[in-house]
Structure 1
Amino acid sequence: MFSLFRENIRIAFDSIKGQVLRTILTILIIAIGITALVGILTLVGALENTISGDFASMGANTFNIQQYEFTTRNSREIDKVNPIINYRNVRAFTDKYEYPLTNVSVSFTGTQSAEVKYLNEKTDPEVSVLGINEHYLDNTGTELEKGRNFTFFDIENNSKVCILGSDFKKNLFKDLDPIGKTVSVRGVKFKVVGLLESKGATFGNNQDLRVLVPLQVARSIFTLPNINYRISVKVNDKQLFEAAQDEAIITFRNVRGLNPIEDNNFGIERSDDLLNRIANITSYLYIAAWIISIITIFGSSIALMNIMLVSVTERTREIGVRKALGAKKYTIAGQFFMETIIIGQLGGLIGIILGVLIGWLITLIANFDFSTPWLAIVSAATISFVIAIISGLYPALKAAKQDPIESLRYE
């Protein structure tokens, strides 16, 4: 039995070598379908990793108080214009909100086009400067590579200290240790006390090219009107999360002076809600990817079956000779079936390699978080094998049923 299987493989490879052009075209047709499947699933997975990682930086067990709800803020039509969250709102909230086991962080973006100087070196004017308090790093899940966080006294005493993103270590300090060095932002000198771990860039927003400075110092540097602040509350005990959020809503409604029948004129953004929304969105993307890929693969299977039927017709005389020499039906069927399997697997292998490479290149260009698409690879290998079985079954049976006398007469 094993010798017959090995003989069928040898005959299949001989046949493939004898029809190189047709085999290459068939393999390419299958490879295109598998490439579409693997490439799209790779991109969707990278997009999911990127978005999840970006929003997960919000931190665990946290919620934000901001101008709009997440869904409203991203919709084209906003029926109600909410007032910004100004410093007076922030100050009143932090003074009144005293729920146990919670930390409140306050932050705002002063500019996204600052220039940072160190000695004779300076950066391009593309640095983001954020004013923060001492709870910002913990509430947003931001880690320090070295150095320390701001203290309560740094914030209250307007200390001229700062924390830098990881990119400054490479471009401004030329791999020197930045801790203890003095940099200049908008003409104000800051002592570097911390360096953030690398977080990469998401949709053009470089998380590693930013400067964090104490909140009050930032307010004295960036005096533009209508600065929109962001409040983030972290609940250290998950069981108190809902109660802490309800208390925050009540407190901020009082800050805004809303009466009981008025709707909130601010939004609440929860970390778990964001991740759930992302999961829902990417599930639709996965469904769309599978539909597109299955249509492409269905076309590939039809093409493979058609080409194998043509091959059976062209080799009718060969089939007759083999039967005349004593070949059984299952031997003939096994020969053509094995040939189809080999072509299908070669197409699947090439498609997987091309799909992963294309997905990797696009994720590299788009700065997405690439991860090996094992689900796509296993799915593609399984599908290519199933395609070969389905596409090769009918041509193999047709070849096995050929009449040897009529086959020998075929010209």
Structure 2
Amino acid sequence: MFAQHGLTVTIQLSGVKHNYKVFRELCRDVEVAAVVKADAYGCGLSGILPTLWGLGCRTYFVAHLHEGILLRNRLNSAAVYVLNGLLPGSEAAYRKYNLRPVITSQQQLDDWCRYCRQQGWSGGAALHLDTGINRLGFRLDEVADIADLSARDLACFDLILSHFACADEPQNPRNTAQIDSFTWARRTLCKIPKASLASSAGCFLGPGAHFDMVRPGVGLFGGNPFTAPTHPFKAVAQAFAPLLQIKLHRAGEFVGYGSGTRLEKDTLVGTISVGYADGLPRAVSGLPLRVYFQGVPIRILGRISMDMTLVDLTSVGRLSPQIGDDVEIFGPHRDLNAFARSISTIPNEVLTALGKRASRRYVEDMATADAARNDARPEMFDFVSNDSAGLLEDASGTLVAPAGFGTVYPNPQFSLESSLNAARPEG
């Protein structure tokens, strides 16, 4: 295994397991689906799917049609909903890949029902109702007309859903208003079998918000969905970048683009292999942002460029930093959520901005991550998350890796039965 440029993102699969079980325990009487849009929130769809499938997750949500196709290429029998609606002329693709569009407007409703009638297709779809976020979806005053559709047209749908606007603030009265509106819509559209309102934060609003299915997203991957700092989730992702160069610069010299940072004293400057192409925003250049070397905070110098960032290593010179040593962007000394707060954003944005060129490596537990970064990787596998190949489910329900795809954690044959048994709590 050779050293690599760029960001290395280590994914703790035990964290995903813990977080899924948090939702399953919280929402005991309903189905717990998984939102895996944006390449499983930047954690790598191919690397995450075996764990979620092994936990018994059978329903998935993505944002785009091409994401649904990638997921279908990995799982034959999962129910896959595409959240961003039915674009004109895409009906046949949903049928070909057995995907379920989330219908958001009257035009989409007409197109989908007409296609299903003409083709005799009954693969399922969802209706998106706008209960207050005022984004995608049917207005509540359109629900009665939907209920008057023919039995044949209503049979095209197996789910109604909506989305909270303020679930990150549990005490916000808008949450109760949306629950009441969705409850009314659920009764009105009672011929459609299932209903779903809650995503990660909404799951914590009580059983009245759960309906038949919940669909957590960022919480599965360790992201805090609340405005308050406390949450029950375990960390899933850590990000490190290697040192490319170390140089002593003299007081009065300028560093970085625009010569915007003048050194006030002799400074040991390191260049790390991460930039805005890897999700470290250029806009935070000049802010008092810190990264970590062997647990010690070090400041960023100058402008963040596309592939590189300068850091002040003076305070850690006694630790003898070397080219190739890792610098922590977020991890054990400042987790994902704290890093997101430090750059005035949310963990969703941090994870999904990590970039496709980052190396994503998967460990069962973070206790093995240090050894993994030093090439002792007994429990690791590497995936290229945007590869056209992927995990496939064979006729016996086993996930297997096509030739050339890589090694599937923890072995080439992923037994669903053994994984489900392993995922069950002890006792």
* TM-score interval, smaller chain: under 0.3
TM, length-normalised to structure 1: 0.21
TM, length-normalised to structure 2: 0.21
Bigger Cα Rg: 1
Which structure has greater helix proportion?
A: 1
